[in-house]
């Protein structure tokens, strides 16, 4: 993909990764982008680089605008390797006067690349540098989602270069939000939030408050992944407000893994009870549904119900994986319940309950365990559990 001018004398010079299908456990069915930005001014500044295999794409795009050797400053908003993987090669070519980064960014670069001789220039929130006709203001955003993250704001262009915030994993030939289908765009944005940033929701609340208090005027938000928000930057800010407050709908997910379909039969009976209470719900079989897609649906679901058969005195492996993944992302203010079938021991239900207790879910019932194949009476109990969960959901909405 060729460079694209996003503002006068400001260019997207990143790379599109059409083939990636997994991003450390997050399914990227439609690829991603590694966005980098070039500001042409009295001082030429490059904001971030790209993943190492895409170094040639970056340099080709820069050369479409200027000679890379004319770059004066590197501004490193985030040191994760999808944004800094080719940094040593770029520095060798560019020989920048200064590399601007946060204090934790400098530490991360030293830990990654072990180069004490690079021209680091540490900045903090509120610091400003001048490129010529435009300036760059910095805002540290620690743990969104690494300790080194920061934003770069260009007030003259009302442009926020937002590192990993407000991004999406989505490879497209288009560069802007108004060039693609809006519903699909927000689906990718929600998936990104649910699987990367949900854990840091309290920090995002503080960040959004700080941005408002600072009176930062925005025409455009340029994240390090996905589409650039030029037509509706306020809309993604509002969405982050809802998601970071962990606002939910009267919606339930029944997430299960089954061995000989007994647990699946129980899941359908629980769904019947939820429907009787007017709750929107989905059956999500772990055999065919990726953990990251489940977390996307869980972003606005009030109730999460987990079912697993017992195998070797424990949960089925996919359920153990799902619960471990979810626990790390820390969804809050959720209602939970568990169920499952077993042959001769039945530990899965107890183990699933323990995870929900640790995650501070409001747990409905002790869980339902059925030996081998559920009877009509067993399924009636499952329907009753679904109704009980549904009533609990309606009480909270």
Q: Which residue has the tokens 């090669």?
A: 89
Of 238, 234, 226, whose CA–CA distance to 179 is shortest? 226
H helices of the chain, in order, are 55-63, 81-84, 87-94, 103-113, 182-192, 201-214, 233-244, 262-276, 291-298, 317-329, 348-358, 376-396
Coarse DSSP helix, strand, coil percentages of the chain, rounded to the nearest 5 percent? 40, 25, 35
Q: Which residue has the tokens 């994993």?
A: 169
Is residue 145 annotated as a catalytic residue, yes or no? yes
Whole-angstrom Cα distance, residue 134 to residue 255?
51
- Beta-carbon neighbour count of residue 342 at 10 Å? 21
Tally of CA atoms within 13 A in the half-sphere of 245 that contains its CB = 10
Is residue 114 annotated as a catalytic residue, yes or no? no
Helix (H, G, I), strand (E, B), or coil: what is residue 38?
Answer: strand
HEC letters along 42-81: CCCEEECCCCHHHHHHHHHHHHCCCCHHHCCEEECCCCCH
- Classify residue 357 as exposed, middle or buried by CB count within 10 Å of its CB (0-12, 13-18, 19+): exposed
Q: Which of 19, 24, 114, 376 is catalytic?
A: 24
Token representation of residue 18: 């059409």
Is residue 290 annotated as a catalytic residue, yes or no? no
Q: Which of 200, 224, 225, 297 is catalytic?
A: 225
Helix (H, G, I), strand (E, B), or coil: what is residue 13?
Answer: coil
Q: Which of 48, 78, 188, 277 is catalytic?
A: 78
Whole-angstrom Cα distance, residue 305 to residue 352?
10
Q: Which of 48, 82, 177, 264 is catalytic?
A: 82
Whole-angstrom Cα distance, residue 308 to residue 316?
6
Token representation of residue 1: 């993909």
Q: Which residue has the tokens 């001789």?
A: 117
Q: Which of 34, 192, 240, 256 is catalytic?
A: 192
Is residue 225 annotated as a catalytic residue, yes or no? yes
Of 41, 36, 35, whose CA–CA distance to 8 is shortest? 41
Is residue 219 annotated as a catalytic residue, yes or no? no
Of 247, 284, 192, whose CA–CA distance to 184 is shortest? 192
Q: Which of 48, 140, 164, 257 is catalytic?
A: 164
Helical pair 376-396 and 262-276, crossing angle rounded to 10 deg: 40
Q: Are 50 and 34 in contact (CB under 8 A)?
A: yes
Q: Which of 41, 48, 80, 297 is catalytic?
A: 80
Catalytic residue set: 24, 78, 80, 82, 145, 164, 192, 225
């Amino acid at each position: 993909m060729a460079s694209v001018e996003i503002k006068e004398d400001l260019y997207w010079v990143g790379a599109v990764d059409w083939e990636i299908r997994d991003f450390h456990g997050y399914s990227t069915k439609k690829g991603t982008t590694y966005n980098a930005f070039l500001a042409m001014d009295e001082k030429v500044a490059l904001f971030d680089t790209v993943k190492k295999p895409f170094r040639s794409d970056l340099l080709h795009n820069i050369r479409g605008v200027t000679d890379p050797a004319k770059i004066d400053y590197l501004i490193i908003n985030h040191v994760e390797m999808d944004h800094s993987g080719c940094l040593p090669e770029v520095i060798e070519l560019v020989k920048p006067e200064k590399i601007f980064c946060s204090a934790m960014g400098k530490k991360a670069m030293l830990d990654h690349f072990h180069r004490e001789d690079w021209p680091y220039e540490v900045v903090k929130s509120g610091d400003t540098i001048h490129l010529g006709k435009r300036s760059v203001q910095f805002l540290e955003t620690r743990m969104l989602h690494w300790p080194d993250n920061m934003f770069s704001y260009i007030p003259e262009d009302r442009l926020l270069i937002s590192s990993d915030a407000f991004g999406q994993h989505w490879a497209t030939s288009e560069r802007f939000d108004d060039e693609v289908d809006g519903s699909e765009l927000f689906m990718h944005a929600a998936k990104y939030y649910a699987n990367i940033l949900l854990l840091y929701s309290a920090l995002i609340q503080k960040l959004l408050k700080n941005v408002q208090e600072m009176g930062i005027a925005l025409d455009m938000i340029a994240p390090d992944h996905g589409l650039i928000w030029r037509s509706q930057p306020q809309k993604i800010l509002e969405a982050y407000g809802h998601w970071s407050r962990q606002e939910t709908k009267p919606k339930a997910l029944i997430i299960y893994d089954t061995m000989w379909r007994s647990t699946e039969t129980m899941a359908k009976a629980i769904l019947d009870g939820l429907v009787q209470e007017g709750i929107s719900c989905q059956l999500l079989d772990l055999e065919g549904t990726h953990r990251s897609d489940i977390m996307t649906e869980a972003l606005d679901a009030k109730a999460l119900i987990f079912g697993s058969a017992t195998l070797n005195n424990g949960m089925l492996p996919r359920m153990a994986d799902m619960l471990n993944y979810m626990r790390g992302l820390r969804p809050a203010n959720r209602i939970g319940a568990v169920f499952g079938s077993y042959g001769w021991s039945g530990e899965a239900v107890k183990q699933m309950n323990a995870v929900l207790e640790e995650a501070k879910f409001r747990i409905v019932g002790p869980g339902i365990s059925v030996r081998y194949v559920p009877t009509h009476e067993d399924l009636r109990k499952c329907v009753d559990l679904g109704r009980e969960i549904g009533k609990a959901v309606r009480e909270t909405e």
